[in-house]
Amino acid sequence: MGTSYTAPTNPDWWREPIERTEVVWITLAFSWCVFMFGWMIAWHWIGNQNMRNEAYQTTPEKFSKHLSEQAAKYAVRKDASMPDEDVIAPPPGSDVYLAGMQWQWRPILELQKGQTYRLHMSSLDVGHGFSLQPENINFQVYPGYEQVLNLTPNKSGTFSIACGEYCGGVNAVGHHTMLGRIYVKE
């Protein structure tokens, strides 16, 4: 007797046996839950794509200083499509600094395929999203926080960085025009 929207007719419903359909399904579903939990942990050892979750507090001033030091050391040429912009080519294994700001990602970087770099990301103003295309790798970037990641490009070519977090703007410039670039050499 009874329905889902009336009080249970058996006051001792806690002791009613569970029917087989539910028992089998719950067993199967729970096993999958445990597997997914284990797999996510295991990927930290068996997978090559993991977040480092290394982070530091910083300030826009401190981070800007890293950027200008980096530019002084590793600028190699002016960019072909933006003649005012330096292309920065840090050596493999070194620290690379990349900043999001309203409304661009700077500097333009040149990396080598198969080499690993320590990429430091931060923002100089509001929250931004690092979005590497066409790889489609995405991170949040905030003012005051410096996130570090060991990055190993496994393809060569021209890659773009779009912004993944709404960061304001007007019609002509804004979140929708925020771009950066990474060149990867063979």
Partner 1 sequence: MATTTMSDFRVDPVSGLKVNRTANKLVQWNAFAAVVFLLVGGLFGLLVALTRMPSVQLLPPELFYMALTAHGLVNLAVWIIFFEMALLYFCGAHLLNNRIATPAWAWTQFWLMLVGAALVAVAVLGGKSSVMMTSYPPLQAEPHFYLGLILFAVGALIGCFVFLGTLVVAKREKTYQGSLPLVVYGGLIACIIAIFTIVSGALILIPTFAWSIGLIGHIDPMMYRVVWWAFGHSSQQINVTAHIAIWYLIAGLVFGAKPMSEKVSRFAFLLYILFLQLGSVHHLLSDPGLTSAWKVFNTSYMVYLAVLASMIHGLTVPGSIEVAQRRKGLDTGMFTWLRKAPWGNPVFSGMFLSLLGFGFIGGITGVVMSVEQINMIIHNTMYLPGHFHGTLVAGTTMAFMAVTYYLIPVVFQRKLALAGMAKLQPYVFSLGAWVFSIALMGAGTLGVQRRHADITFAGQPLAYEYPEIAKGLMDLGEIFAVIMAVGAIMFILVVLASIFTGERITEGSAPWPKVEDADVTAEKAGRKHIGAGGFEAPGTFVLALVLFVTIVLYYFINFKYLSTVWGMS
Stretch near partner 1 under the rule CB under 8 A, chosen from 8-16, 62-70, 87-95: 8-16
61 binds partner 1 (CB under 8 A): no
Tell me the C-alpha distance between 156 and 73, whole Å: 23
With tokens 């912004």, the residue in question is 163
**Binding to partner 1 by residue 87, rule CB under 8 A?**
no
Contact flag: residue 45 with partner 1 (CB under 8 A): no
Residue 94 as a binder of partner 1 (CB under 8 A): the answer is: no
Residue 20 beta carbon to partner 1: minimum distance, rounded to whole angstroms: 6
Q: How many angstroms separate the CA atoms of 186 and 173, rounded?
A: 34
CA separation (Å) from 143 to 56, 63, 71, 126?
11, 10, 20, 6
Among 69, 155, 157, 185, binds partner 1 (CB under 8 A): 155
Q: Tell me the number of residues near partner 1 by CB under 8 A.
A: 91
Lookup: tokens for 138 = 């995405």
Closest approach, Cβ 107 to partner 1, in A, equals: 12
Q: Are 137 and 160 in contact (CB under 8 A)?
A: no
By CB under 8 A, tell whether 95 contacts partner 1. no
Selected range binding partner 1 among 65-73, 93-101, 155-163, rule: CB under 8 A: 155-163
Q: Given the complex with partner 1, which of 68 and 150 has the nearer CB atom? A: 150
- Coil vs helix vs strand at 8: coil
C-alpha–C-alpha distance, residues 125 and 108, integer Å:
19
Q: What is the CA radius of gyration of the chain?
A: 25
Q: Find the part of the chain contacting partner 1 (CB under 8 A) among 66-74, 90-98, 178-186.
A: 178-186
